[in-house]
Structure 1
Amino acid sequence: MSQIKFAYWVPNVSGGLVVSKIEQRTSWDIDYNRKLAQLAEANGFDYALSQIRFTAGYGAEFQHEPVAFSHALLAATTRLKVIAAILPGPWNPAVAAKQIATIDQLSGGRVAVNIVSGWFKGEFQAIGEPWLEHDERYRRSEEFIRALKGIWTSDSFSFRGDFYRFSDYTLKPKPLQQPHPEIFQGGSSRAARDMASRVSDWYFTNGNTVEGIKAQIDDIRAKAAANQHSVKIGVNAFVIARETEEEARAVLAEIIEKADPEAVNAFGDAVKQAGKASPEGEGNWAKSTFEDLVQYNDGFKTNLIGTPRQIAERIVALKAVGVDLILTGFLHYHEEVVYFGQQVLPLVRELEARQATEAVAA
């Protein structure tokens, strides 16, 4: 039985991982992030995910470009994999394939991509990119992924899509990773889940209850099996681990109490507009409350808030319904990544080992 994996959101944008004016000992600068990558690697984390933003807003005034930033983090580490967010539209698959192949060569095969279909209409308008209808954005992303895979795995690649076209294109050198660097994607809409069931290696879902996540996983895995495809699942979670549950809950209460209402509501309006545009009228944030939206991807809903043992037990419960990876965010990254690695992760491994032993005995 494979162990559950851990990733963290790279704070390559200012404002940290909550839209709140609470004090955060987290910085978006490169020195802080190099050190964070090294601490995460030393404390059992497998992946780091760099964020993509083009315009200032929602408490994220400053943003570093994710592909270049990911390369800098890879240069500062030896084992950690770094997932670079890429947005079809601004990126062309030929450019992305070449960038990532080069970084894969330079990093010894440690880069991955997260294909972001786009939810922020104002951002596309600001940079002069056409804003496609909801399902069309996912259709473009699927072509983007098919193009990446084709470029990375074959010579004389030809492709005739509605968004991208290639004629006898050969990329050399290709990535070191075989068959290709891992491809992640997110989203909760029907179009997002269907795309994952056809082409993606990993699917990220927003934070949710165990029951809510299980329903999504069962749906995606059934569809993937029908497509002769397999996909792994990552879940977003904002972690508040403290010695007592009362301390952890007090931190959550302070984050929400000091939330920036203007920024939270503006973010909520943008993401809900994007979700309502899907045919079923729901997207990632369809049922998110104001409190949920204080953490970008509903990270509070996953409820990794409490003592190390409470959090470890909830992580193992998520694994039991099919979760393969926890994508974490923290308030004070340096200190809390170390605390998580030292206090929570060993309990997770202990519980996993116990469950494996019990499974064999049964």
Structure 2
Amino acid sequence: MSQSSSSATIKFAYWVPNVSGGLVVSTIPQRTDWSLEYNQKLAQTAEKAGFDYALSQIRFTAGYGAEHQHESVSFSQAILHATTKLKVLAAILPGPWHPAVVAKQLATIDHISNGRIAINVVSGWFKGEFQALGEPWLEHDERYRRSNEFIRVLKGIWTQDKFTFKGDFYRINDYTLSPKPLQKPHPEIFQGGSSRAARDNAASVSDWYFTNGNTPEGIKAQIDDIQAKARENGHKVRIGVNAFIIARDTEEEAKAVLDDIIKHAHVEAVHAFGDAVKQAGKASPEGEGNWAKSTFEDLVQYNDGFRTNLIGTPQQIAERIVHLKSIGVDLILAGFLHFIEEVEYFGRKVLPLVRELEAQRAAATSADTSADTREAEAATSAA
């Protein structure tokens, strides 16, 4: 049986394009826009298509094809106002934000949105942002240690009265937040990364762990490691995987779109991004964090989304998604080239196939279980 719940359907999230340039570092024409009007229409389209979550991005400064950026928390709230069911993840960067301020912000938004806000804690990969803001740039594992304290403070403030915390990065003294969030025990806490420190952190404090795109074998190795560590900690964590989805009526059409994106890659921006993120990953003691093994082509989609290979016909993509579920993936975090029309196409053409395949596998598993039970009962009777 997979580490993902066999009865639960796999969930879907999409990257909110609240920064300019879309989700690829390429000069290819895109019908994706970073404006509020576009994003509210996109959120409504995604909600209707069957998406569960939207993830707003956190960027403070221009670079790597993103010349403009809307702030994640306020933008998330604007998306929530335009929807009724979609849950929105606001990306937060420890360092510029204090956890007590975030706890209060999100508790208020939780009430305004009737329990539809969540948080994605980003430990930091962009050194230039920290330098621009006058924030200390910590070593790799120290950034995750700060994130661990950040999350523990969030949980404490959201669930306890007279909360006190004495850490290396944060100090809280007998603090009571009121009102606390509607969601119990607290809003969902997401966290990304691929390094050992990232996995260790998620296996101890996070509700969800996002990893960059990868092959099924590479993803499974990460899942096996993190779930073993989570069990040792008496903790439960669910897994989300990044994927750039190119769904077309034929495989040839989908591959042609991918080739066109890479052909028009913004070479200077891709190399600059690669230098920044690989420096961040290699700074880990093991020398392997996000992007450590990414090629130039991988980095054109800046979370290795091409590597997950959700590129092809609706049937091909649905089968690959259900295979990812079988190895322990609980959520697909999707990026698209032309967001609104491709999200609509995905909801109409791909998602129904996913649900059909899930139902078939669940029925087959149930039949196998029933057969095993009958055999065991027959053996007991014979004895």
Q: Same fold by TM-score, threshold 0.5 exceeded?
A: yes
Counterparts of 1:148-159 in structure 2 under 5 Å?
148-159=154-165
Secondary structure of the residue that 1:279 maps to in structure 2?
A: coil
Aligned length: 362
Partner of 1:359: 365
Partner of 1:50: 56
Counterpart amino acid of residue 47 in structure 1: Y
Partner of 2:287: 281
Partner of 1:181: 187
Cα offset for 1:210? Answer: 0.6
Counterpart amino acid of residue 312 in structure 2: G
Secondary structure of the residue that 1:71 maps to in structure 2?
A: helix
Cα offset for 1:31? Answer: 0.1
Please, which of 195, 212, 215 is the counterpart of residue 206 of structure 1? 212
Please, which of 220, 229, 246 is the counterpart of residue 223 of structure 1? 229
Partner of 1:312: 318
Counterparts of 1:24-173 in structure 2 under 5 Å?
24-173=30-179
Q: How far apart, in 1, do the equivalents of 2:189 and 2:249 lie?
A: 37
What per-residue deviation string (whole Å, max 9, x for no partner) do you get for residues 302-357 of structure 1?
A: 00000000000000000000000000000000100000000000000000000000
Q: How far apart, in 1, do the equivalents of 2:114 and 2:217 lie?
A: 39
Q: How far apart, in 1, do the equivalents of 2:81 and 2:16 lie?
A: 15
Q: How far apart, in 2, do the equivalents of 1:223 and 1:183 lie?
A: 18
Counterparts of 1:228-267 in structure 2 under 5 Å?
228-267=234-273
Please, which of 13, 19, 30 is the counterpart of residue 13 of structure 1? 19
Partner of 2:371: none
What per-residue deviation string (whole Å, max 9, x for no partner) do you get for residues 32-65 of structure 1?
A: 0000000000000000000000110100000000
Secondary structure of the residue that 1:39 maps to in structure 2?
A: helix
The higher radius of gyration belongs to: 2
Counterpart amino acid of residue 18 in structure 1: V
Q: How far apart, in 1, do the equivalents of 2:136 and 2:286 lie?
A: 23
Cα offset for 1:171? Answer: 0.3
Counterpart amino acid of residue 183 in structure 1: I
TM-score relative to the length of structure 2:
0.94
Counterpart amino acid of residue 195 in structure 1: N
Cα offset for 1:190? Answer: 0.5
Secondary structure of the residue that 2:203 maps to in structure 1?
A: helix
What per-residue deviation string (whole Å, max 9, x for no partner) do you get for residues 209-251 of structure 1?
A: 1111000000000000000001000000000000000000000
- Structure 2 runs not aligned, ≥5 long: 1-6, 369-383
Partner of 1:293: 299
Partner of 1:2: 8
Q: How far apart, in 1, do the equivalents of 2:204 and 2:171 lie?
A: 20
Secondary structure of the residue that 2:317 maps to in structure 1?
A: helix
Task: Kindly indicate whether residue 348 of structure 2 is the aligned counterpart of residue 338 of structure 1.
Answer: no
Partner of 1:268: 274
Please, which of 307, 312, 328 is the counterpart of residue 334 of structure 2? 328
CA RMSD of aligned residues (A): 0.3
Counterpart amino acid of residue 180 in structure 1: H
What per-residue deviation string (whole Å, max 9, x for no partner) do you get for residues 86-110 of structure 1?
A: 0000000010000000000000000
Secondary structure of the residue that 1:114 maps to in structure 2?
A: strand
Cα offset for 1:253? Answer: 0.1
Deviating above 6 A after TM superposition, structure 1's stretches of 4 or more consecutive aligned residues are none
Cα offset for 1:264? Answer: 0.2
Counterpart amino acid of residue 13 in structure 2: A
- Structure 1 runs not aligned, ≥5 long: none
Cα offset for 1:82? Answer: 0.1
Q: How far apart, in 1, do the equivalents of 2:298 and 2:340 lie?
A: 24
Q: How far apart, in 1, do the equivalents of 2:340 and 2:172 lie?
A: 44
Counterpart amino acid of residue 250 in structure 1: A
Q: How far apart, in 2, do the equivalents of 1:7 and 1:218 lie?
A: 22
Partner of 2:199: 193
Secondary structure of the residue that 2:119 maps to in structure 1?
A: strand
Q: How far apart, in 2, do the equivalents of 1:51 and 1:166 lie?
A: 28
Q: How far apart, in 1, do the equivalents of 2:53 and 2:128 lie?
A: 30
TM-score relative to the length of structure 1:
1.00
Secondary structure of the residue that 2:91 maps to in structure 1?
A: strand
